[in-house]
Amino acid sequence: MSRDYDLETLVHQMERQPRYSKTAPLAQVMDDLDFFESIDDVVAALREKWSGRGKTATAAASISFVLCLMCLFADAFSGVVAWVLGGVFIVSLVATLVCLSKNHGLGKRDLPDRRYQLVMYLLRRLRKDIPPDEPLTLNLDLTDLDATEKWKGSGRAGDWTTNDYVDPWLQLQVRLADGTHLRLTMEEWLQKRSRSKRNYRGKVKTKHKSKSSTVLGVQLRVKPERHPDLVSLEGAARKALKLPACVTDTRLDVSEDRLALRTRLPLEWLAVDPSQNDTQPDYSQNEYGTGTPNQSRDINGRWVETVPDATRTFLMMMLSLYQVLNYSTASQRKSPSRATP
């Protein structure tokens, strides 16, 4: 991705958040993700600038309006002063509207930082397992969850009118150094609900609410000859699952050449950099164990998260599946060699 342009100019030229699709070595993909972070920093700085200008213009409009009222109801100022104050009020009001418009427009260009940061943190943790020249395929959608093109239809749920949105915003595929093909996916689902009722006064009131969730998927595809009888290890695979207590609807599929794990998180998840968190003693034995935000323990002594950490959830899903592959490899080594006919 070229860097031969001014970031602020690029931000103003953007109509909305971008979609990113690329197959390239890890270093190039990480460079592009860093570029998204730079764009987001520029957007945040511009929004702060226009917000500050808007506050100043609003204050000027308020003060000039109050002074104009004083001119109307008292003889404290001359007519010329009143006209000047009226002009200041109009100019300040227009400036306020311009600042609000600019800030709103920049809001449409504001990138959902947790999305690209999640990918950055995962790739940083997996960097040593990805050969430098191995092509990595990443499809990353940074547009809004409720964008028009993500609308899947409307329906009814009791008295509520529903509108469903599905956003499969993340697909990442790469072959790791051990030959395993890794695929990560993330999909967000949103259902907007509305209901209108007429009260006893004859006034119609409309209520709005929503339901949402996030589905995480991890798939490991292997060569059957390297991991024979993988299907027979499905029971061991289920016992190997060690996921955060906040996940729901976990589904494990085992076939001859792949392991696939899907689970669900609330829509309000975080992307936390594993390097910025202390390792919790519960998971200090594994390679991917990391801390989580806003932690506490439940009645069974397990760590629970008030705001789920999607980075940690992905890493624990991958670790759980890899434990099954390691068990398969160990079992194959222990089995007696067959006689050659």
Which of residues 244 and 174 earns the better pLDDT score?
A: 174
Q: Which of 55-59, 239-243, 278-282 has the lowest mean pLDDT?
A: 278-282
Helical axes 113-126 vs 310-334, angle rounded to 10°: 30
Q: Is the pLDDT of residue 38 over 80?
A: yes
- According to the model, what pLDDT value does residue 9 have? 64
- Split at pLDDT 50, 70, 90, the class of 169 is very high
What 3-state DSSP class applies to 228?
coil
Q: Is the pLDDT of residue 289 over 60?
A: no
Angstrom distance (rounded) from CA 319 to CA 198:
54
**What mean pLDDT value characterizes the chain?**
79
Tell me 279's DSSP state: P
- Split at pLDDT 50, 70, 90, the class of 278 is very low
- According to the model, what pLDDT value does residue 147 have? 84
Q: Which of 161-175, 232-246, 254-268 has the lowest mean pLDDT?
A: 232-246
Angstrom distance (rounded) from CA 287 to CA 269:
23
- According to the model, what pLDDT value does residue 288 have? 33
Q: Is the pLDDT of residue 67 over 90?
A: no
- 219 vs 88, 115, 126, 180, 263, CA distance in Å? 63, 20, 15, 10, 12
Output the CA angle 100-105-108, nearest 5 degrees: 130
Other CB atoms within 10 A of residue 174 CB: 23
Which of residues 30 and 245 earns the better pLDDT score?
A: 30
Phi then psi for 281, rounded to 5 degrees? -60, -25
Cβ distance 165 to 149 under 8 Å? Answer: no
Cβ distance 191 to 162 under 8 Å? Answer: yes
Angstrom distance (rounded) from CA 170 to CA 216:
9
Percent with pLDDT over 70 in the chain: 79
- According to the model, what pLDDT value does residue 218 have? 95
What lies within 8 Å, CB to CB, of 140 at 6+ separation is: 19, 20, 21, 115, 116, 119, 169, 170
Output the CA angle 198-157-154, nearest 5 degrees: 95
Question: pLDDT digit string (tens) for 78-100?
Answer: 567 777 777 888 888 888 888 88
Environment class of 105 (CB within 10 Å of its CB; exposed 0-12, middle 13-18, buried 19+): middle
- According to the model, what pLDDT value does residue 326 have? 78
Average of pLDDT values for 96-111? 80
Angstrom distance (rounded) from CA 134 to CA 236:
31
Q: Is the pLDDT of residue 121 over 90?
A: yes
Q: Is the pLDDT of residue 145 over 80?
A: yes
- Split at pLDDT 50, 70, 90, the class of 209 is confident
> Token pair for residue 16?
């909305």
> Token pair for residue 191?
């259902």
